[in-house]
Structure 1
């Protein structure tokens, strides 16, 4: 409950018009940085303990403060055609470019079957979610993510408006550090969100 109270408090930073959501588990890159360092983002220990979040905060702190606002309008489902390789983790938003950088992002441990959790402050609902996992052999610490690095896992059905949406994902054959790439097609408008979450298959 404390987590969601903190989330609600963050709306004051961005205004209601910008309040949407993100994948909170496994945490998207911007959300993970905000959750871990948002209340301590001036700490000198971040550079050693979490260098990727440190780089992101140095480049543009707004990426983390607005972790719920990584949307683009009017893609019409043309996600791959209109999102260049190397820009998937930022949803092709230049202000969030540090999220595309390869490196030692903090990971969330998952098993071959796991649950994805979305927090949507504005309760938009979903036409669907598309879920991908980076291919075995792709190295997130040295390579930016491109469409050719992804295995398509599943597309969900519709979800009614809710602040909290969860769905199960089943995979096989993955070990170690991978990127979970999720596209959320929101229901209220043609708004597409794309996120990278770093996971460690155990």
Structure 2
């Protein structure tokens, strides 16, 4: 029994190490993407039964595939060629078209995900853990009237609210957080005319390779 317990600790340690290592890539960390937020809140306590009532959407995601949280920095597709809508069907935007099989599928579930309260003009922060740089970052926000509690996210629900040009590898603010490393890039976002619950959708076209990262973040506009 002691051997099994030690083995479990080793697996947990390696999973956490991998998530924060140079093999990682990145995600939106403010407002946090669904899987990054779940990892941030529960990665240290993911077996706590209280998650089921305190954070039910994270709970269903952990139950579906815990690797979606340990690998919060690996939600990407390759060889998209800029055709995001062609590569990712409606209803699967948060999982990037079920990239990695069903690993991230639970992130597509509508429901009361933990949401960040924001003004409609805000700064989105994407973390580039492995210093990939970017051809561009694009930040979309759902149209007024979309209901993240009940509606599956489709491309027609989104409006472009912020974007960048090319970001050189290593450009950004270095992180002092040991589990992150790398740099963070800020994108100014204008979501004027909205109120209540919304989804912020991030597309990050990495510059080192045809590799595109995606992420859904839940917000409440004041």
Same topology, TM > 0.5 = yes
Secondary structure, counterpart of 2:86 in structure 1: coil
Query: How many positions carry a matched residue from both structures?
Result: 194
Deviation at 1:180, TM superposition (A): 0.2
Q: CA deviation at 1:73?
A: 0.6
Deviations 1:103-133 (A, max 9, x none): 0000011111101111111011111011111
Matched, 1:111 2:116: no
**Higher mean displacement: 187-196 or 14-23:** 14-23
1:176 maps to what in 2?
Answer: 196
The aligned residue for residue 73 of structure 1 is 78
| Partner of residue 185 from structure 2, selected from 145, 165, 172 | 165
The unaligned stretches of length 5 or more in structure 2 are: 1-13, 171-182
Are 2:81 and 1:88 equivalent residues in the alignment? no
Q: How does 1:184-195 map to 2 (within 5 A)?
A: 184-195=204-215
| 1:91 match: secondary structure | coil
TM-score, structure 1 length as denominator?
A: 0.91
- The alignment's TM-score, normalised by the length of structure 2, stands at 0.83
Q: What SS is found at the alignment partner of 1:160?
A: coil
Q: Which SS does the other structure have where 1:138 is aligned? A: coil
Matches within 5 A, 1:27-42: 27-42=32-47
State the 4+ residue runs in structure 1 displaced beyond 6 angstroms. none
Between the aligned partners of 1:14 and 1:112, the Cα distance in structure 2 is: 31
2:136 aligned residue: 128
Task: Specify the SS of the correspondent of 1:130.
Answer: strand
Q: What displacement does 1:13 show? A: 2.5
> 1:148: how far off?
1.1
Q: What is the rounded CA distance, in whole Å, between the counterparts of 2:38 and 2:128 in structure 1?
A: 18
3-state secondary structure, aligned to 2:161: strand
Q: Which residue of 1 aligns with 2:56?
A: 51
Task: Report if aligned partners of 1:18, 1:69 keep a CA contact under 8 Å in 2.
Answer: no
The unaligned stretches of length 5 or more in structure 1 are 1-8
